[in-house]
Structures are given as structure tokens and as C-alpha cells.
Amino acid sequence: MNGRNAVNSKPEQHLRSQLLSSGVSSAREKVIQQALDNVNRPGFKIEPSAILPLMKPVTWFPPMWAFACGVVSTGEDISSNWSILLRGIILAGPLMCAMSQTMNDYFDREVDAINEPERPIPSGKISKQASWLITFGLIMTGFLVAWSIHPYVMIIAFVGVLMSHAYSGPPLRAKRNGWFGNLIVGLAYEGVAWLTGSFAITQGVPAAESIALAVIFSIGAHGIMTLNDFKSVVGDTIRKVASIPVQLGEKKAAVLASVIMDIAQLAAISILLYKSSYITSGIAILLLLLQLPMQKILVDNPKEKAVWYNAFGTLLYVLSMMVCAVGIRP
């Protein structure tokens, strides 16, 4: 073995020992090593079937839903504004959210090689160079759709691009600390999308209650993002990404996520009560109460139940968003 190979083998051996100590099987370790080779391989490659997975359609729903909540909160007639609603939902999900996912996959490719080696870039289906072409295409298309709604919406879309880069890329790379990274994503996916929906319909400053709910549910989304990080604990630990589960441990992170989501909903319910919207207040309270036993199951076994809770418990949270949007309509 020459000197260079000896030097190169040391980090590989260290990574292997970290993976094995984290309970990763030998077979999985080999897959991860191949993924790490793929993520920085030179050249240009796109497998068309991998483009949609790169954009993570499963993540599109929250900003699309938040945009719709912003529209509903205005009390405007949706049937006469269906075109704006449709373009806004496409902008929020398949364009801007997809863009944030492709950008994140580029900057996170070495972490994904450990956590999710089957992702398009680590698996070698899409090269890192090609991923930037897809990201740029989504940005430009998003700007065009945003401009068709209103010039100010294009400015908001540009801010969304900056927020995505601040979260994933240098020099900030806010996702390296879960406290800041989760807040940025919550604001982008929930708050900005909600307020954009409100502005797109009225083309005016959103009502104070709408702004308050947008901020409140953005903060609550910090908890949802914490739950998303449970699947990445091994890679985040190795790559020194200080997600909330890495910093606090899985049980404390699950408690924190639940408390943040509950406090946000209680704050939203207080606004409904202030508006004398008693029916929607009652529905929102019921949705919150239904989450409590599910949260106990989550806290008792966070590692196994985080994905389950994200699928079912979080659904009740987002339903509460729409209930509150209906409750504050003029």
C-alpha cells in the first residue's frame, strides 16, 4: 500500500467503524460506501425516472396547504379566483418546494449517502452537476408563474429561493443547527406560503389575524421538522449536523416537538376565541385533544413512531390550520 492509499483509507476505516457502532449492517455499509463514491463523481447524468423522486413530492403538501389556508382566511370567493388558487398551489408545491428539495439534496448529498443512499444523487442516477440544472429550471419556472399572479409574488418567490439556500447551503447552512434550520423551513413552508395565498387573492396586506396565524403555525412546524429528523440521526451524528434529536436525544426531542405543536395550536385557538368563532374553536380543541394520546405513543417510542406520528398526528395539526383559517374569515 502506498502512502496516498494509506492516508485515504484512514477516513474510510473511521467511517466504517462509526457505521458499525451505530448498528449499520456490513451489507448496508457497502451500499453507503458506494453512495459516497457517487455523490462527488464528475460528469453529467440524468435518469428521467429519478427527476420526480429528486423533487420529493411527499414534501409538497405543507406549503400547498398553507397557501390554500391563506386564500381561505381572506373570505374571498374562491370560485371567482380559482386560477390564482391553482397557480399559487403549483407555485408553492411542485415548483418552489420542489426547488428547495433539489437544492437541499445537492448540499446534503454526503449526509444522504449515509441516511438515504437510495436517493437519486447518492445512488448515481443523477449527478450533482445535473441536479443544479433541475434546480435552476424550477427556479425560473417558479418566477414566471409567480409573476403571472402578481409582480410582488415573484419577489416573495425570490425570497423563498434565498431562504432555501440559507437553510441548505454555505455560508449559513442553517440546517446544521436544528433550532435555526427548522425555524427557517417552518417560516418558508407555512408562514410565507400562507401570507402569499392571502396577498395573491386580495393584493393587499393580510389581516392581522391572518399574519398572526401564519407566524403561529410556522413556529409549530418547528416540531414537525424535528420529527422529520429522526430518520437521519445516524448520518447527522457522523456528519456533525446538530439536529434536535442529535442535540437532545430522541425522547426529549419528541417531547419538545409535541409541546411546540400543542402551544402553537393553543395560541391559534385563543385567536379564534377572541374573534368569537366558537364553533371553529371547538373543532380546533377537539383536534388538539385527539393528538394528545398519539403524542404519548410517540414519546414512549420515538425512534419507531416518529414516521407514524408524522403520517397521522401531523394530519390533525394541518387540519387545525384550515379550521383556524375558516374561523378568522371576515
Q: Where are the chain's structural domains?
A: 50-327
Mean pLDDT (10-residue bins), the chain, 330 residues: 46 67 75 89 94 95 96 93 95 97 95 92 96 97 97 96 95 93 94 96 94 97 92 84 94 96 98 97 98 96 91 93 97
Is the sign of the CA dihedral 113, 114, 118, 123 positive or negative? positive
3-state secondary structure (DSSP) of residue 177: strand
- Residue 39, CB half-sphere, CA atoms under 13 Å: how many? 21
Q: According to the model, what pLDDT value does residue 16 have?
A: 67
Tell me which amino acid residue 174 is: A
Q: According to the model, what pLDDT value does residue 115 have?
A: 87
Q: How many C-beta neighbours within 10 Å does residue 141 have?
A: 17
Q: According to the model, what pLDDT value does residue 236 have?
A: 87
Give the chain's length.
Answer: 330
d(CA 144, CA 148): 6
Q: According to the model, what pLDDT value does residue 31 have?
A: 86
Q: According to the model, what pLDDT value does residue 240 have?
A: 85
Q: According to the model, what pLDDT value does residue 6 have?
A: 41
The grid coordinates listed for 1 are 500500500
Q: According to the model, what pLDDT value does residue 231 have?
A: 82
Q: According to the model, what pLDDT value does residue 311 have?
A: 84
Q: According to the model, what pLDDT value does residue 14 have?
A: 67
Q: According to the model, what pLDDT value does residue 317 have?
A: 96
Decide: pTM greater than 0.85: yes
Let me know how many helices (H) and strands (E) the chain has, helices first.
17, 0
d(CA 190, CA 192): 6
Angle between helices 98-107 and 151-168 (to 10 degrees): 20
The closest alpha carbon to 132, from 116, 109, 115, belongs to 109
d(CA 38, CA 126): 9
The grid coordinates listed for 271 are 385567536
